[in-house]
Structure 1
Amino acid sequence: MMMFVKKLFFPPKKSPSFSFISRGTKLTGNIELTGDVLIGGDIQGQLLSEANITIEQGGTIQGEVKCHEFIVDGHFKGRLICERLVIQRNGVVDGEVASTSMQILEGGQFIGMRIKEDAPTIYSHAIGHTPATDNRNLSHVQNDVIESR
């Protein structure tokens, strides 16, 4: 009886979803994901994830991305909205970024413009719309290391 009550009030937790887009795979269009995604292939279009997106070395995204955390060890070109951006040693981010925090490891490259915003503002941005630029929070960097470890 106790097991039945426990299961009734505490249903089993769902395992988080994870997607992998392998090398040689090319996707075009609007993609929506609920979980983390690892990208080794090529994506063109809009990518929306409620979780984290990682581009591994050799992977590319060209288009618009909105996610919680964005880790780049491959190549991204376009418009990015995320809470946290990490550019790894082989990573290249080329475009417009709206983020709460940004980290660039030595060797990583950021080419473009960044708007620093708080988390509630980040989550209110919609893909397909340009965030309002505020000169107080605007930084322009080209091929500079912002933080190295």
Structure 2
Amino acid sequence: MFGKKFSFTRNTAPALSFIADGTMLTGNIEFSGDVLIGGEIQGQILSQANIIVEKTGRIHGEIKCREFIIDGYFKGRLICERLIIQSRGIVDGDVACTSMQINEGGQFIGLRIKEDHQTIHAHSLPSTTSTNVLLSPNQDN
């Protein structure tokens, strides 16, 4: 029993990350897998996969991801391959994307630049000196 060696292998697919309603993150955040956002984020988000913003989700800042699906609120700069604005979603800012879909009731306020896949991947977010992430409960003021 104790003589056997066990090997643990890491699953190659990154897990889903979840930012719950009532959570507030501030700073530069990187995700390797999909992320579901129900809370509030202020800062830069870099994801190698998809970002989904629930109706309670609010983001202020800059985002680069593969696909951005929003049913909440986003204000800032967005770089993605595909943008989908759901019926309660609001995107306010500059968007560079290959394709964009706005469902009935969704709102887009800003400037959109249509880019091809190669150009989207060449875009980068400006780096900042802070790489810390601050976790705190969302408080009504």
Q: Compute the TM-score of the two structures, normalised by the length of structure 1.
A: 0.77
RCO higher in 1 or 2 (8 Å CA, sep ≥ 6)?
2
- Supply the distance in 2 between the matched residues of 1:15 and 1:77 (Cα, whole angstroms): 30
Gaps of 5+ in 2: 1-8, 128-141
| Matched-pair identity in % | 66
Q: Which amino acid aligns with 2:33?
A: G
Corresponding position of 1:47: 45
2:91 matches 1:116? no
- Taking a change above 3 Å as real, the CA distance of residues 12 and 58 of structure 1, as seen in their structure-2 partners, is closer
Could you tell me which of 93, 96, 104 is aligned with 1:95? 93
State the shift of 1:102 in Å: 0.1
SS at match of 2:80: strand
What is the aligned residue count?
Answer: 119
Please identify which structure carries the higher helix content. 1
SS at match of 2:83: strand
Corresponding position of 2:62: 64
Gaps of 5+ in 1: 1-10, 130-149
Segments of 4+ moved more than 6 angstroms: none
Corresponding position of 1:105: 103
2:83 matches 1:85? yes
Once the two structures are overlaid, the 10-residue window that deviates more, 11-20 or 70-79, is 11-20
State the shift of 1:58 in Å: 1.1
Q: Compute the TM-score of the two structures, normalised by the length of structure 2.
A: 0.81
